[in-house]
Each structure stands twice: as C-alpha cells, then as structure tokens.
Amino acid sequence: MARVLYNLVIFLIRLAMQIKVVGYWSLIYGYCGVCTAVALLKLWWSFILRPTAVFQWAVRETPPACLNDTSLGTHCYVRIKESGLRFHYVAAGERGKPLMLFLHGFPEFWFSWRYQLREFKSEFRVVAIDMRGYGESDLPLSAESYKFEHLVTDVKDIVEYLGYNRCCLVGHDWGGTVAWLFAIYYPEMVTKLIVLNCPHPSVLADYAMRHPSQLLKCSHFFFFQLPRFPELMLSINDFKAVKSLFTSRSTGIGRKGRWLTVEEMEAYLYALSQHSRSCVLYNHVRSPVLLLWGERDAFLEQDMAEACRVYIRNHFRLNIISGASHWLQQDQPDIVNTLIWTFLKEGEGRKSYRD
C-alpha cells in the first residue's frame, strides 16, 4: 500500500510540473502571439489611413556629419579570413596603448560608444566595432551565423588582428552577453570586464524561467526569430518603432540624462537603413568585473544584477545608476565614465594593461 501511495505522489508531482511548464510557455507564446496580432492590426490600420506612407522611408545615402566627427576616431575595416566577413570599426588613441574594445547592443552600432571613445582615448587604444550584421559590417547570409560561438570568435579574431593578446572588454545589452561569454571562453584575453545593463547569461536564463514578468519583457527575443517580419515592423513608417524605442517615455534615452539630438537619431536610422539583423556555455568569469545598471531599465529587472555575483571568481563591483535608462552610456555618460575610471584604477591599475 505504501508503495502505491509513493508512486501516486511521484506521478502527481511530475504531472503538476508538466502542467506548470506547459502553462508557463503557453502564457509566453500566447503573449507573443497577442503582441504580433496587435502589431499586424496597427500595420493594417496604418495602411488603411495612409497606404502610400506605411512602406516608405527616407533614403539615407549620405551619413550624418556626426558619424564623420574626427574627435571620435578613424574609420577602419578588417576582413576576417575564417568567416570571410568584413568588419567596420572606429579606433582612437595611440597604437601600442592598452586596448579597450567596445561591443554595442541592439539595435545600435559603434556610435553608441561616442562618449566613451572621447573619454578613454587618452590612456587606451579605444576601438568600437560594428558587430556582424550591423552598421557597415557585413551581413551574414543565414540566421545560423548569429550563434554565440561565431560572435565570440569575431571578438577574438579582431583583438588579434589589432595586434593584442588581451584587452579591457566593454559590452552593453546584446554586446554585453557576448562580452560575458568571451570572458568565459578566453579568460586569459580579458584583463577587466565591464558590462552595462546585461546580466550574466546563466542569471538571465534562470531568472526568466522563475519570473514570468522578466520573460515577458524578453518576449522580443521570440519575435526576432520570425523570418522577415521583424525587419518589416522595424522599418515601416520610416523606422517609427526604432524612433520610439530611443525616445519614448518608458524605454527612451534622456528622461533624466542626455536626449538624442535630431542628428544622432538620424545616425541610428542611417545605420539601420544599411542593414541590421540579429537573430552555451555558461560558467564562471575569472576577470575583475564591473557591472553598471540603469535603474530605469524597461527590459531587464534589477534583481538580476546582484545575482551575477555568484558567477564571478574575482573582484566584482556593481553600480546602480539612479534615473538612468537601458541606454545608460548615452543617457548618463559622465557618471558611467567616472565609474569606469574608478574601476580601472583599482587593483592592477591602468599601466598593467600594456602587453
């Protein structure tokens, strides 16, 4: 009898777990389906009201002047032999100085690091790249080309092409995830790791599974897996969705910081009009880590920031920036730069970055 009761209890527990999992993912995909349906209804309504305007956008053949600002650095290109892709990057600071490499997020490009390029070029060779599929870097032909293993290899190849065997690595958003993984795969190549508004990949995976609210905030991950539809929705009405992403009250830049100028907004739209498409190993990080987090991040819950501590085997510093949005290096550049300088001076100091 006891054996039968035991088996019954185990069966009921497993059944409850399966129901929970099915219900959980039904909720998420149902939410994504509702969002897609709403987007289609908006598209249909816009087409009814202004049929000729929906699928039109301004032709941007000439980059805004701010992209050619010589104070930001020199525009350079490198073709990686193994992947065959050509990467664009902007570099400043003297050659031979320690390398500080910047990885941007979505839907950005090298320009998102403009304040940091000016700030750190006095002590570093600063390089901000356009990751594959963004800005002036080549667009791979398949979604498979955006696997993390390829993105991490891109960083390694670029660091070595620049003549370095290690760097201070800085990443934000999508680029932050790549930075975390690069520090895991190639710890000997990262002197210090600085991540902005992006949790350790294991923290995000675990937290999102236990908190539906966070998974709903990440629902755009699922949306971007659809073929062609995301590009369409981002580009209609002259990239209206992108403009809203950077300027709206809930997600935009500058509520308590620096607003994007009209020219800076045009720089993003120019880069997106060229092309843009972004369709594991999770372990401990051995490099010293600085994690900066915008208090007003509309996409990531703040509780994940502190949870990253368990994956760091070295010095870990977390700074929550009051009033800052998800785009904090542009929103609060002075505070971000000061915190980065403080972190760089700790322990080894700046001079130890020299190869």
Q: Which domain holds residue 90?
A: 65-220+230-353
Q: State the average pLDDT over residues 262-276.
A: 81
Give a yes or no: residue 204 inside a domain: yes
Check whether residue 32 and residue 170 sit in a common domain.
no
Per the structure, how many domains does the chain have? 2
Give a yes or no: residue 154 inside a domain: yes
Check whether residue 10 and residue 73 sit in a common domain.
no
Check whether residue 183 and residue 37 sit in a common domain.
no
Check whether residue 48 and residue 74 sit in a common domain.
no
Q: Between 21 and 259, name the one with better pLDDT.
A: 259
Check whether residue 123 and residue 242 sit in a common domain.
yes
Q: Of 29, 56, 83, which residue sits at a domain end?
A: 56
Q: Which residues pair with 196 in a beta bridge?
A: 172, 292
Check whether residue 84 and residue 51 sit in a common domain.
no
Summarize pLDDT for 272-282 with one digit per residue, the tens. Answer: 877 655 443 33
Check whether residue 119 and residue 147 sit in a common domain.
yes
Check whether residue 50 and residue 73 sit in a common domain.
no
Check whether residue 300 and residue 327 sit in a common domain.
yes
Give a yes or no: residue 139 inside a domain: yes
Check whether residue 86 and residue 47 sit in a common domain.
no
CB 132 within 8 A of CB 138: yes
pLDDT band at 349 (very low <50, low <70, confident <90, very high): very low
Strands (E), the chain: 74-79, 86-92, 99-103, 125-129, 167-172, 190-196, 289-294, 316-321
- Please tell me the pTM assigned to this model: 0.80
Give a yes or no: residue 225 inside a domain: no
Q: What CATH number does the domain containing 287 carry?
A: 3.40.50.1820
Check whether residue 21 and residue 86 sit in a common domain.
no
Summarize pLDDT for 213-244 with one digit per residue, the tens. Answer: 776 676 666 666 666 667 777 777 777 777 87
Check whether residue 40 and residue 75 sit in a common domain.
no
Q: What percent of the chain has pLDDT over 90?
A: 41
